[in-house]
Amino acid sequence: MKEKPKPYTTTPRYITSDVRSGKMTSSEWRVYQWLRDNADPYGKVTTSLIAIRDDIYENVEANHINYLLLSLKKKRYVHYLSRQGRRGSFDVHFDDWLLPNGQIKHLDAYFTNDSAITPGRSKTVTETEVTQKSEGAIQKLQEKKLQVIKGFSGNPAPPSFRSHYNDTDTHKDNKSTLGKEAFKGTLVREYEPRTTEEARCYQIAQEVGEQFMNPLLSVLRTQGISIIERAWGIYREDVQGRKTIDNKPAYLQGIIKTLLQKANQ
């Protein structure tokens, strides 16, 4: 009598190559492989940020798990519906998954308006389009909301500072980057990033103790993530050099302003 094989999952060999080449980071691989090992026969796993953290990470914030998942989704290793403003569990789908009927499941349809194979049946184009159009409407609404917020979130003149670019240090007398009494923005503690760039801004905002997300998001949308990363690098160098910084959010904004001024010269 032949022994009945135990349940198993398969992982494409190119995943190993992607980790070696750096396309997929070791942290991303850890989340990817754990979820893939727990997926059902149709390449879907139901999970949550808290569940992933508790299962394979210790002393890590849930937003870091969110950052890794966003990166995996951006690289199209996985797909899940937009989670802006949502909490709790959600479904994650995997690419290059061998289905019980011998077909290979791909994620192309999940990123477009085409039909996609789901457990036990084929999802109709109509159902998929409704879901994605709803997501698109929500995303457009959020973008318009951010544009309105952006119109009221002009950064006050940031402080001068002594670093690689300036010999004047007056940051000690500056208020918060969001010191306008009437201004109400998106609180950092309530913000949920939708992209890897937004997740990066979220991490930096937490590091410097920013109260609102709007200053960094405004720079991200008008200048891109590279200027923020450059400013963050300079900020880190000054911190490691034990430079006295009384107002960290204002200091970082000052670096960003200086970099922009030099770029426009």
The span from the CA of 262 to the CA of 230, in Å, is: 13
Would 257 be classed as within a structural domain?
A: yes
Q: Average pLDDT, stretch 28-38?
A: 94
Q: Are residues 193 and 112 in the same domain?
A: no
Phi, psi of 97 (to 5 degrees): -110, 125
> Which of 100, 131, 162 is the last residue in one of the domains?
131
- In one letter, which amino acid is 130? V
CA distances from 27 to 178, 199, 200 (A): 34, 15, 15
Residue 121, beta-bridge partner list: 118
Q: Are residues 163 and 105 in the same domain?
A: no
Q: Are residues 191 and 239 in the same domain?
A: yes
Would 3 be classed as within a structural domain?
A: no
Q: Are residues 199 and 93 in the same domain?
A: no
The span from the CA of 228 to the CA of 65, in Å, is: 22
What is the CA 49 to chain-centroid distance, rounded?
A: 13
Nearest to 224 by CA among 250, 196, 248: 196
Answer for the pair 174, 250: CB distance below 8 angstroms, yes or no: yes
In 150-183, which positions are buried (b, 16+ CB within 10 angstroms) versus exposed (e)?
eeebebbebbbbebeeeeebebeebebbbeeeee
pLDDT of 78-127, one tens digit each?
999 887 777 788 999 999 998 888 889 998 888 874 343 444 433 333 33
Answer for the pair 207, 201: CB distance below 8 angstroms, yes or no: no
DSSP letter string, 122-145: EPPHHHHHHHHHHHHHHHHHHHHH
SS3 177: coil
CATH code of the domain in which 65 resides: 1.10.10.10
Grade residue 129 by pLDDT with cuts at 50, 70 and 90: very low
163: tokens are 């670093």
Is the whole-model pTM more than 0.85?
no
Place of tokens 């500056």: 174
Residues in the chain: 265
Q: Are residues 94 and 156 in the same domain?
A: no
pLDDT at 19 over 70: yes
Spatial neighbors of 40 by CB under 8 A, at least 6 apart, are 119
| pLDDT of the residue at 146 | 56
Answer for the pair 199, 226: CB distance below 8 angstroms, yes or no: no
Q: Are residues 159 and 189 in the same domain?
A: yes
| pLDDT of the residue at 183 | 53
Helical axes 26-37 vs 14-21, angle rounded to 10°: 160
Q: Provide the domain limits for residue 111.
A: 14-131
> Which of 131, 164, 193 is the last residue in one of the domains?
131
How many domains does the chain divide into?
2
Would 181 be classed as within a structural domain?
A: yes
**Which of 30-44, 64-78, 233-247 has the lowest average pLDDT?**
233-247
Q: Average pLDDT, stretch 14-30?
A: 91
| pLDDT of the residue at 216 | 93
pLDDT at 255 over 50: yes
| pLDDT of the residue at 196 | 78
Would 255 be classed as within a structural domain?
A: yes
178: tokens are 């969001």
- What region does 237 belong to: left with phi over 0, alpha with psi -120 to 50, or beta? alpha
Would 1 be classed as within a structural domain?
A: no
Q: Are strands 97-98 and 104-105 parallel, antiparallel or unpaired?
A: antiparallel
Would 29 be classed as within a structural domain?
A: yes
Would 139 be classed as within a structural domain?
A: no
Q: Are residues 65 and 111 in the same domain?
A: yes
| pLDDT of the residue at 52 | 92
Q: Are residues 94 and 165 in the same domain?
A: no
Would 144 be classed as within a structural domain?
A: no
